[in-house]
């Protein structure tokens, strides 16, 4: 991880003239908030964060059925099959989030994506994933996957402030109207790089062979089992 620069795509976009100096400097200046959030998640969970990088674009989801509706995807957790045919789970963080998100918001989203990572790894390990939506869509009408996430109070039990950030910002799905408004005005309306993703493209098929090649440390498997048992206890006994 030390040899991998999470900002490499941002650097490339700046060199290619796609990002203005002011925005590039803002992303680089505020990136330590991301590093701080990653360390915070790792310390609270006892696990390493997966590979992550900053996407130098605003990513929005659009629906053909509801053409007036548009959702901002501030971060996504994406399974990727590499050239070596190994399956990896990567967290994509968008530059607008880094540029304009409050510290608590950035940390909450990083923590939320980490829970998506754990949940996805768990289901792949159990060979339950064949075709499913990509985890990490932070703007959906119903946010259907919130019910299957692990219990944040189990994953981050040593960091009550982080838990509060998550539960405050994700009551049923991520909404931060001030941040969304700022991103639309400061990014999209200024013609900065924007990627539109159809909602029905937010589906991925993972080959069984690739799932079998997902390399998961035993420590990660053990931790996931521990977190899941806490969720089960809560369901059975009302444990909080």
For 74, list phi and psi in degrees, rounded to 5.
Answer: -75, -25
- Separation of alpha carbons 90 and 114, rounded Å: 10
Closest residue by Cα to residue 108 from 78, 59, 143, 74: 74
Q: Which two tokens stand for residue 142?
A: 């119903």
Distance, CA of 125 to CA of 212 (rounded, Å): 8
Return the closest-CA partner of residue 105 out of 178, 158, 51, 20: 178
What's the whole-model pTM score? 0.84
Q: Among residues of the chain, what percentage have pLDDT more than 90?
A: 46
In the chain, where are the structural domains located? 8-237
- Collapsing DSSP to helix, strand or coil, 36 comes out as helix
The 10 Å Cβ neighbour count of residue 187 is 21
Residue 233 is predicted with a pLDDT of 54
Q: What is the DSSP letter of 131?
A: E
Query: Which residue has better confidence, 217 or 239?
Result: 217
Report the C-alpha gap between 175 and 71 in whole angstroms: 10
Residues 6+ apart with CB under 8 A from 22: none
SS3 of 65, please?
A: coil
Output DSSP code: residue 152: H
The answer to whether residue 148 scores a pLDDT higher than 90 is no
Average pLDDT, the chain: 82
- Which residue in this structure is represented by tokens 């060199």? 15
pLDDT > 60? residue 145: no
Instruction: With cut-offs at 50, 70 and 90, classify the pLDDT of residue 186.
Output: very high
Asked if residue 139 has pLDDT above 80, the reply is no
Q: Could you give the strand order of the β-sheet that contains 194-198, starting from the edge strand earlier in sequence?
A: 70-72, 58-62, 194-198
Q: Does the pLDDT value for residue 62 go beyond 90?
A: no
| Residue 188 CA neighbour count, 13 Å, CB half | 17
13/10 Cα distance (integer angstroms): 5
**Beta pairing partners, 53:** 92
Terminal CA-CA length for the chain: 35
User: Other CB atoms closer than 10 Å to residue 57's CB: what's the count?
Assistant: 21
Question: Above 70 in pLDDT, residue 155?
Answer: yes
């Amino acid at each position: 991880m030390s040899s991998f620069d999470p900002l490499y795509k941002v650097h490339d976009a700046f060199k290619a003239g796609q990002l203005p100096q002011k925005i590039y400097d803002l992303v680089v200046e505020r990136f330590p908030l991301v590093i701080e959030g990653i360390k915070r998640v790792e310390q609270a969970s006892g696990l390493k964060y997966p590979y992550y990088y900053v996407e130098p674009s605003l990513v929005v989801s659009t629906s053909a059925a509801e053409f007036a509706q548009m959702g901002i995807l501030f971060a996504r957790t994406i399974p990727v099959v590499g050239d070596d045919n190994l399956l990896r789970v990567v967290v994509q963080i968008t530059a607008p989030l880094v540029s304009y998100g409050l510290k608590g918001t950035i940390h909450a989203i990083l923590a939320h994506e980490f829970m998506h990572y754990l949940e996805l790894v768990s289901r792949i390990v159990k060979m339950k994933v064949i075709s499913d939506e990509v985890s990490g869509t932070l703007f959906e009408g119903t946010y259907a996957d919130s019910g299957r996430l692990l219990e944040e109070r189990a994953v981050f039990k040593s960091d009550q402030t982080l838990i509060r950030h998550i539960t405050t910002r994700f009551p049923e799905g991520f909404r931060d109207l001030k941040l969304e408004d700022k991103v639309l005005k400061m990014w999209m309306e200024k013609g900065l790089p924007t990627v539109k993703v159809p909602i029905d493209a937010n589906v991925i098929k993972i080959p069984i062979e690739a799932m079998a090649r997902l390399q998961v440390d035993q420590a990660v498997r053990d931790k996931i089992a521990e977190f899941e048992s806490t969720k089960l206890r809560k369901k059975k006994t009302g444990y909080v």
